[in-house]
Every structure is written in structure tokens, then in C-alpha cells.
Amino acid sequence: MTAVFGLLESMTERISNIIKQGANSRLSDKEFLENEIAKWKISPQRMMQIKGHLYYNGEHDILKRKRTAIGEGGKETIVNNIPNNKIIDNQYAKIADQKTNYLLGKPFVIEGENEKYISLLKNIFDKRFMRTMKNVGREVLNGGIAWLYPYYDADGKFTFRMFPSYEILPFWEDSEHTILDFAVRLYLVEGYEGINPVIIEKAEIYTKDGIYRYILDNSVLIEDISEDNDINQIIISDENGNKNGFNWQRIPLIPIKYNEQEMPLLKKVKSLQDGINTMLSDFENNMQEDARNTILVIKNYDGEDLGEFRKNLSTYGAVKVRTVEGAEGGIDTLQISVNSENYKSILDLLKKALIENAMGYDAKSDKIGANPNQMNIQSMYSDIDLDANNMETELQAAFEDILWFVNAHLANTGQGNFENEKVNITFNRDILINETEAIEGIQKSVGILSDETLVEMHPWVNDVQQELNRLKKQHESDYNPAELNEDKDSDADE
């Protein structure tokens, strides 16, 4: 255990330096990691990352709501026998899906001059990888950051796996968070103690020297003897079934961020989403509280404590009255009506504010209802397009790291050295367009722009290179001299 952690001393000055607690005490590397993990587990940043996933899956704070009333002595008291609806209108999940599909809903395009290289990349960046990237896009929004892990699966195929934001504790070399020093992955697995099922907390430390695996038991790191303790990052079996271990020259974790601050989308709109849920729940509560929609004017109230009166009124919807010195007791009422239009107006304001703060778009906007021209459509998409630009910048930077691992894989497997090859990754945004206007614009640009550019801009084309090949084949067929001579001979014979 001590020897294994000794390897960490070469990774970073943060761990290799002596960390003092007072004048004569020293914090060991193992203790340092345990303390960092303990702080990170309950940190506000990680709590918000977890909250982003919970809100996306419909686990909102409204579900923990309690109905309260002013009780005896003016103290707030929980009231259990009155309506307590917990309605969720998950606008956050709708916006997260909207933004994910806008940028990553369609397959991205891979272009480059080396056709062999592009063909190899398309084999790796297949439909499975496209799906992984779409999941990464959703994770990036929920957690502010996501992680791709390049590895070889059980069949020896090179592929990528996503780790969610709340599983990874990164240690960066720079303040801009661009160079990863090492990282800790914390995750839960199901296991057994005898015949009793238990949840086991595991920790993996990713370094340039390999991956070290542990169990976190009561905040203490213990070597995981249940796992194959080979620290190598890559395990490949040869033809005889022998396992060979290798390491990448980089830490096999690729960060993909939503923005420079790594701020989850939920942090921008949580109060608005909570407001929507609260308004809907309160409206439903008021509709069900028939007896409590009336203010009671009490004569000769049987009791002196106003808090007791409020509690009885909230709990039972009734109070006791009596006749005092010839004055008859009784209750008069003031009726209160619930105005649904007020709720509707507030809900509309909250939903519009959520869309604007999340930088999404309203698909039911009046801007395109009566006049769906391209300018109105672009105006509707302006906010989500700006946010997508920022997200795409982070994705393009991440693809440089992805391609490094892909190129290393191709070189190691003897498929070629493509280290200096240039590749363009183009994301096809799923934007609503006026196809008639777009096609008319393309027709008017013939002779001004190249055929490749015109084909790329056409709304009916998914694979630009495939469509260009079809055009080329069609062009050659139309002007084939042999076919022309056959036609002339046929005419002469007639």
C-alpha cells in the first residue's frame, strides 16, 4: 500500500511536497488524497452536479415540500391533513434535450485530405460513438463537464466510454483547467458481505504511470484485492490468451466542458424551475381546499390563543363558537375565489424567463406562426445558437485530445502514422429552416460558389461526399462518348 502510493510522489509537486500541519507534523500522500476526496464528496460544486442529474430525471426539490401553518405560540407547524400536491413540469429536462439535440442530434461530418485516414476515422467514430457523444452532450449540460475514457473492450475493440461529472475529482496542473495532472474516479458498485447485499464505494486513481484501484471504506483508502491489480491502463490479450499491459503517454481521461467555468445548466435556472413547480402545486392545492377558500369571521370564539385558532382553521377547516352573556355566537364568511388567470400569467412569465436564462428557444413562438421566413426563424434560434458556439468551441478542443488517442491506437496497431494529418469536424446543427428560401439561395449562387459548398448547404443532403460522388457518376454517364456513339449508330440503322 505504502509503496503504491509512493509512485504518486513523482506525479505532482502538490503531493510530493511535504504538507505541514503545524510546525512538526506531516500529512502523508495517502492522507492528502483521503482528505481531498472527503471534501469533494460534499462540495457545493459536486452537489450541483448531482442535482443536475436529479432534476433531469424528475427528482425535484418540490417532492420534499411540507405544508406548514402558524401554530401555537406563533410557531411554524407542519400540517399533514391538507392537500400537499407536488407537481413537476420539467422544463429543465426539455431545455437540456433541446440543446443536446440542437448540436449533437445529427451525425457530425469528418473531412480531410487523406482519404485512408478519413475512412479509418469513420470506422472508429461510428454510430455507437455518435450516441456516446450525444450522451456526453447531455452530461455536459447536467454537470458542467463530462469525461471520455478511451479503452479496449473485451473483444479488443478500441472505443470510448463516458464518465459522469460527479464521479471524477480532477487535479489540474494549470489554473485554466486545460492540463490534467491526475484524477480520482469515485463510483458505487453492488456487492455482498456474506449473503447480504451491500453498496461498495470504489476509487480509481488515474495517473501517467497507470491506474490504481482501491475501496473507500469510511473515508479510508484500502487496496482493492478483488480486482486485478495490474496498474497498466491498457490490457490486450494475444492469440494465446496471454494478457499484455501497456500505458498511454497521457492520462486516459478527456475533459469536455459546457463552458469555461464548468458551470452546469441547472445553476442558471433552478430557481425558475422550482417556481414553476411551486405555482402549479399551489394552484392544485387551492383548488382542493374548498373549505379554506373562505375567511371566517368568528363571533365569541371559544379560545384565547390566536395561534390555536390558526392551527385549528388550517388543520380542520373549522372552529368552535359559543354564546356569551346573551350575545349569540356565530360565523360570517368572506369568500375568496382562486383566479386561475393570475396563475397562468405567472407561469407564462416563469417559463419565458427559464427559456431566456437557459438560452434555449420557444418552439411555439409567435415569431414563426404567421410568417415563417428565415429571418424570423434565425431570430428564434439566436440564443441557443450563441450558446452552441461556446459549447462547440469546447468540443473542438476536446476532439484534439480524442484524435491523439485515436492516432496512437492506429499507429500501435500498424494501421499508419497520421500524427500530422489535419481533420475538420463539423457539427450539423438541427435548426428549423425554410427549405424553399434555402434552395432558392443555392440556385442563385451557382457559378459563384463551388459545387461542394452548394451541396453542403443543401437541406436535403446528409453526406456531402456521397452526394458529390453521385453527381460525378451522373455527369460521366451523361457525357460518355461510347454511349453517344451507340446512339448515333442506332439512328443510322433506322
Question: Do 348 and 477 reside in the same domain of the chain?
Answer: no
Predicted TM-score (pTM) above 0.85: no
Distance of CA 65 to the CA centre of its chain: 26
Q: How many domains does the chain have?
A: 2
Of the chain, the end-to-end C-alpha distance in Å amounts to: 95
Residue 394 lies in a domain: yes
Domain boundary among 405, 432, 459: 432
307 and 456 share one domain? no
Of 415, 432, 449, the last residue of a domain is 432
| 418 and 453 share one domain | no
Per-residue model confidence (pLDDT) at position 5: 46
Within-domain flag for 89: yes
The rounded mean pLDDT for the chain is 81
- Give the model's confidence band at 150: pLDDT under 50 very low, under 70 low, under 90 confident, else very high: very high
Shared domain for 412 and 281, answered yes or no, is yes
Q: Which residue has the higher pLDDT, 200 or 73?
A: 200
pLDDT in tens, 412-464: 889 999 998 999 998 888 765 555 666 777 888 888 888 788 887 777 777 77
Q: What is the mean pLDDT of residues 193-204?
A: 90
pLDDT digits (tens, 9 = 90+) for 32-65: 999 999 999 999 999 999 999 999 999 999 999 9
Instruction: Look up residue 330 and give its three cell numbers.
Output: 356565530
pLDDT band at 17 (very low <50, low <70, confident <90, very high): very low
Considering 432, 457, 479, which residue would you say is the last residue of a domain? 432
Contact 15, 9 (CB under 8 A): yes
Predicted confidence (pLDDT) at residue 72 exceeds the cutoff of 70: yes
For the segment 255-281, what is each residue's pLDDT rounded down to a tens digit?
Answer: 999 999 999 999 999 999 999 999 999
Query: Please, what sign has the CA dihedral across residues 227, 230, 236, 237?
Result: negative
51 and 139 in a single domain? The answer is: yes
Most confident of 181-195, 281-295, 297-311, 480-494: 181-195
Domain contains 234? no
Q: How buried is 405 (Cβ within 10 angstroms: 0-12 exposed, 13-18 middle, 19+ buried)? A: buried
Q: What pLDDT, on a 0 to 100 scale, did the predictor assign at position 366?
A: 65
- The reply to whether 164 falls in a domain is no
Q: Write out the H or E segment, with its range, that includes residue 222.
A: strand 220-223
Q: Are residues 345 and 481 in the same domain?
A: no
Domain interval for residue 470: 441-493
* Cα 192 to the center of its chain, rounded Å: 32
